[in-house]
Structure 1
Amino acid sequence: MLEQINHIGFGLILAIIIYIILRFIFPKSQENRSIENQSTISTDTEHKIKDLELQCQRLREELKQQSQQLKTDLQVETFTQLQTLLCNYPTVKKMALIKPDLPAKNLVSLFTSLDNLITSWGYTVIGEIWEQVNYNPQLHQADSDDIQEGELVYIRFIGYQDGVTVLYPAKVSRTLPAGFDNN
């Protein structure tokens, strides 16, 4: 669909360039032509200009409709992939508030849809929870300003990237949370 939008955008630009060229080649008044030729050329030019204006208007409307369709398709696809989580979350939230001793491991399966969505988008995670790594400021966000590049740190919260583009850096710290170890 993005390729279609690119084609429409190219067509729109092409129509504008043709319009400008026609206006330059066939100005409304030409001193060296007879009034009869001038009238014929002006009429032809006006028809061509009108046609180009109509085509530009049509292309703008198509682009607007395709943009709305892309937005709708993305929302439907994302909702479909997250449907299980979205439908169960309110119940799980209520259960957690009423019964705070509910084991969290019973809730883990709800997040499978999020994992599937991230995978379908082609995103990759930066690090694993509590993994010890060398600090890289391009991939990590330190919890302290004095952490130096290459220093050993623990990943507290994973990050995400799309190819080489970091979408969200992994949050790192020199220590693990109290009461946890790396085993």
Structure 2
Amino acid sequence: MSDFSQKLQNLMQQAGISSFKALSRQASVSEYQVLRLRQGKLEQMRLDILLKLSKALQIPLSQLLSTFLESDIEPSPVSSPQEIADLKREYERSQLQLQQQREILRQEFQQSSLQLLETLLLQWPTAAKKAQDDHQLAAVKIVPLVQNSLQKLLQAWGIEAIASVGAEIPYDPQLHQLKGGTAQPGETVIVTHLGYCQGDRLLYRATVKKL
């Protein structure tokens, strides 16, 4: 067993990884890439592969570099301190870019959501104040304000309601949560609380009860 294989096994043991094949699966890299690391060919490996391996081994990339660039044989020019420093800088740049991309996506998501909720954000505080000042104000005048804004948001996200409150529908245990008692599939039930689907994915089952 080479010195590099032993070093890798030591790191795997600390991370609770039982075999080189298991490391390959956990890091989502090919077994060939694991073999290259065992052979001490780290300087020939792509940065994204090294990042996946360091994550699977639960160690910083800098530790992976220092561990597998140290050997008893004469280092190649690629494994010079300058190359190590360049790899570290590239890793830091990649991390910064990822953080910036996440921040941009978060801001875009917030902006699009705010646009969909604009009416609610601008008009709800006034409507709520009127309701507090005038207890005779019918709720039916306020409900559409919330309902319309919510409907716009759900449509933008591709979310659809399962039936509607008060609807009488055939019971489907895959889509419906029965509120007490038992019911047979196909038996007529009434919807008490909405459920939601997003495409083919079920988000929340609708709550139903027997007639």
Both structures adopt the same fold (TM-score exceeding 0.5): yes
2:99 corresponds to which of 38, 48, 64: 64
1:165 corresponds to which of 201, 206, 210: 201
CA 22–94 in structure 1, closer or farther in 2 if over 3 Å, else same: closer
Do structure 1's residue 81 and structure 2's residue 116 form an aligned pair? yes
The aligned residue for residue 49 of structure 1 is: 84
Structure 2 residue runs without a partner (length 5+)? 1-45, 54-60
CA RMSD of aligned residues (A): 2.8
Deviation at 1:145, TM superposition (A): 3.7
Higher relative contact order at CA 8 Å, sep ≥6: structure 1 or structure 2? 1
The aligned residue for residue 4 of structure 2 is: none
CA 13–43 in structure 1, closer or farther in 2 if over 3 Å, else same: closer
Do structure 1's residue 120 and structure 2's residue 159 form an aligned pair? no
State the alpha-carbon separation in 2 of the partners of residues 12 and 108 from structure 1: 54
Alignment check: 8 A CA contact 2:162 2:195 kept:
yes
State the alpha-carbon separation in 2 of the partners of residues 70 and 132 from structure 1: 41
Do structure 1's residue 139 and structure 2's residue 182 form an aligned pair? no
State the alpha-carbon separation in 2 of the partners of residues 67 and 12 from structure 1: 20
Q: How many matched pairs?
A: 155
State the alpha-carbon separation in 1 of the partners of residues 70 and 140 from structure 2: 76
1:123-144 Cα distance to aligned partner (Å, 9 max, x none) = 1111122111111122112211
Percent identity among equivalent residues? 30
* TM-score for both structures, normalised by structure 1: 0.71
Q: Which amino acid aligns with 2:176?
A: H
State the alpha-carbon separation in 2 of the partners of residues 72 and 96 from structure 1: 33
Deviation at 1:22, TM superposition (A): 11
